[in-house]
Amino acid sequence: MVSFSNYSYEPSLTRRSAVDKEPIFDADVSMVIRKKLTLMVEDVEWLQAKMGEIEHKPIAKVYPNCSLL
């Protein structure tokens, strides 16, 4: 979400105005999030395809409630 934030990481977290950048008044947040989620889906699909090629697959366990740890 840095791409539409009025903060900047140059060289550390600061306001855009402090590094002579224009403020962002109107950003298409839903489009940015949609693009990020699409990339995440592509990563998961790639990993699932690669898992079929791995001889020794890792074992995973999902903990639906962290208080069980």
| Residue 32 falls inside a structural domain | yes
Total domain count, the chain: 1
> Is the predicted pLDDT of residue 9 greater than 80, yes or no?
no
Our CA dihedral for 40, 42, 45, 46, rounded to 10 degrees, sits at: -110
| Residue 65 falls inside a structural domain | no
The verdict on whether omega for the bond into residue 23 sits within 30 degrees of 0, i.e. cis, is: no
| Residue 63 falls inside a structural domain | no
Q: Are 15 and 40 in contact (CB under 8 A)?
A: no
| Residue 47 falls inside a structural domain | yes
Greatest alpha-carbon pair distance for the chain in Å reads 53
> Is the predicted pLDDT of residue 23 greater than 80, yes or no?
yes
Domain encompassing residue 30: 2-53
Tens digits of residue pLDDT in 38-58: 999 999 999 999 988 888 888
How high is the pLDDT of residue 68?
A: 55
How high is the pLDDT of residue 37?
A: 96
| Residue 62 falls inside a structural domain | no
| Residue 20 falls inside a structural domain | yes
